[in-house]
Chains A and B, each alone.
Chain A
């Protein structure tokens, strides 16, 4: 069965510190990997994606993610957190090219 795990429901980080939001997956083949962010009462917004190539992917708003095939992980990172980064973050994988599987989400709070 295809699955995506975000092991932390909540991540708290001080403003200016680096942040990491973790994602691991269990899917067949070579999946496509995505990160989305959701602000309160809004739909999801795309942050970045990995299809192939360089394992370090850079995306919107200074976020980046590292693909690790051996650990089947795709962790989201940012060198210096902002209060405005506080939101709900979702990891998603597409194993077949048509269907998407989302993690349960990680709530990020950046403390001023």
Chain B
């Protein structure tokens, strides 16, 4: 999976607790993305980053925040997790953005009880 790791791989948490997911890359790619995958919805973009400290919202950003203080790390935070955020979360990277191939991490399965 192209030098991308996600941690944790599985997490069970309770409603109202904060959760942070980490994506780490060793490819030195400029762009990083966070998606969620849900049955019937495919993949939906949450946030993306086009450089250190440069981030922007995707189509389902409500309830999520991100940070990128280093090229290799992109963090996704759920400030107060809700059951509707139960999903599989994928990180992806690309070198030059929209014309470029995205490489995906292995995913994090998050369950909010």
A42 at the interface (CB under 8 A from B): yes
**A17, chain B: closest CB distance, angstroms:** 26
How would residues 3 to 21 of chain A score, 1 for a CB under 8 Å from any chain B CB and 0 otherwise? 0101000000000000000
Q: Provided the pairs A42-B106, A43-B90, A44-B104 are in contact, do residues A102 and B98 lie with their beta carbons within 8 angstroms?
A: no
**B69, chain A: closest CB distance, angstroms:** 20
How many chain B residues touch A (Cβ–Cβ < 8 Å)? 28
Task: Please report which residues of chain B, range 15-46, place their CB below 8 angstroms from some CB of chain A when the two chains form the complex.
Answer: 31, 33, 35, 40-45
Task: Report yes or no: A43 in contact with B107, Cβ–Cβ below 8 A.
Answer: yes
Residues of chain A contacted by B64 (CB below 8 angstroms):
none
- Per the bound structure, the CA–CA distance linking A92 and B90 in Å amounts to 15
A112 at the interface (CB under 8 A from B): no
Task: Please report which residues of chain B, range 78-113, place their CB below 8 angstroms from some CB of chain A when the two chains form the complex.
Answer: 90, 92, 97-99, 101-107
How big is the A interface, by class? 20 to 34
Q: Provided the pairs A43-B1, A44-B90, A94-B98 are in contact, do residues A100 and B103 lie with their beta carbons within 8 angstroms?
A: no
Task: Report yes or no: B99 in contact with A43, Cβ–Cβ below 8 A.
Answer: no
Most buried by A among B33, B41, B50, B104: B104
Residues of chain B contacted by A71 (CB below 8 angstroms):
none
Give B residues with C-beta under 8 Å from A.
1, 4, 31, 33, 35, 40-45, 48, 50, 56, 58-59, 90, 92, 97-99, 101-107
Give A residues with C-beta under 8 Å from B.
4, 6, 32, 34, 36, 41-46, 49, 51, 90, 92, 94, 96-105
